[in-house]
A and B are shown apart, each in its own frame.
Chain A
Amino acid sequence: MVAAKKTEETHESINNRLALVMKSGKYTLGYKTVLKSLRSSKGKLIIIANNCPPLRKSEIEYYAMLCIVGVHHYNGKLQKQLEAAGTFPPSFLHSFLCRLGLGVICFSKSLKSYIPRIQICIE
């Protein structure tokens, strides 16, 4: 029970931050744009959803390793992630404010959504 609660809590915080970034940060959604932003070293954080196919997940992790970018494994599927971020359903989401230093986490985010899987790259 306690363990479950703990994950709940951390989920909450990630979701909150996600929502924040979605509202006022820079992000891109989807596999292709994630790789693009990694190659141009613009990404700062990548969020990969649960139901991302393992090969693709490994590939993104490898790229992230090469450019020393953090990867966060979100414990849930795309829709959930986007719901958390307060947008549903998404087709394409772009917000172009550059957000830094909220006292919480510095993101300028790139989120990538690819229904039904999400990899979010946070710039």
Chain B
Amino acid sequence: MVKFLKSNKAVIVLQGRYAGRKAVIVRSFDDGTRDRPYGHCLVAGIKKYPSKVIRKDSAKKTAKKSRVKCFVKLVNYQHLMPTRYTLDVDLKDVVTVDALQTKDKKVAACKATKERFEERFKTGKNRESESFWIRITRLHAREVSLAFLL
């Protein structure tokens, strides 16, 4: 009875190239639009997770390992697994439907989200959403995501 597919919700993408990746809902379109007459949302997700950093890594290596690569995508609700977690990253100004129109804009949006994600990752404020940065070892996205969530 409560709407849960809102902005800042952490979700897991279930289908497509980014299946198994975690993402954050930036904007949701519950009733769809004319082009997409179904419930869908704009998500910004992790294309390439940051790697594991160990104690003996140099600063240079740490910096390299802590990089996050992002994607921005419009996804059907059906192809998402919602989680009970949220990620408070302000992406509304950066990630817009407009940004998906051309490749340049998309790249720019991805770069901007990358910065914000990396900043979030490094400061690591929110205890709960720390698991957002951990990769799910890919089996079947739906099964694994469920096992992971529970």
Contacts A55-B146, A62-B146: A40 and B2 contacting too (C-beta < 8 A)?
no
Q: A40-B30, A55-B146, A58-B150 are in contact. Are A67 and B39 (CB under 8 A)?
A: no
Q: What is the bound-complex CA distance between A35 and B79, given in angstroms?
A: 11
Q: Kindly state whether residue A92 has any CB partner on chain B within 8 Å.
A: no
Is there contact, CB below 8 Å, between A59 and B84? no
Report how far A65 CA is from B149 CA in the complex, Å. 12
Task: Choose among B30, B39, B77, B84 the residue that contacts A65 (Cβ–Cβ < 8 A).
Answer: B84
Contacts of A68 in B (CB 8 A): 1-2
> Measured between alpha carbons, how far is A90 from B121 in the docked complex, in Å?
51
Please, which residue of chain B has its CB at the minimum distance from the CB of A59? B146
Count of chain B residues with a beta carbon within 8 Å of a chain A beta carbon: 17
Q: B4 near A66 (CB under 8 angstroms)?
A: yes
Contact A67 B4 (CB under 8 A): yes
B70 within 8 Å of A by Cβ? no
Interface residues of B in 1-57 (CB under 8 A from A): 1-5, 30, 39
Partner of B1, one of A39, A58, A67: A67
Q: Determine how close the nearest CB of chain B comes to the CB of A43; give it in whole angstroms.
A: 8
Chain B's closest residue to A39 (CB) is B77
Residues of B within 8 A of A43 (CB): 1
| A112 proximal to B (CB < 8 A) | no
Who on chain B is nearest to A35 by CB?
B78
Q: Does A109 count as interface, using CB distance less than 8 angstroms? A: no
The answer to whether A62 and B150 touch across the interface, beta carbons within 8 angstroms, is: yes
Binary interface encoding of chain A residues 28-57 relative to chain B, with 1 for a CB under 8 A from any of its CBs, else 0: 000000010001110110000000000100
Instruction: Choose from B2, B30, B143, B150 the contact partner of A67 (Cβ within 8 Å).
Output: B2
A37 to chain B, nearest CB (A): 11
Give the distance to chain A from B38, nearest Cβ to Cβ, in Å: 10
List 8 extra interface pairs beyond A62-B149, A62-B150, CB under 8 A: A39-B39, A39-B77, A40-B3, A40-B39, A58-B150, A59-B142, A67-B3, A68-B2
The 5 sampled A-B contact pairs (Cβ below 8 Å) are A40-B39, A44-B1, A59-B142, A59-B146, A62-B149
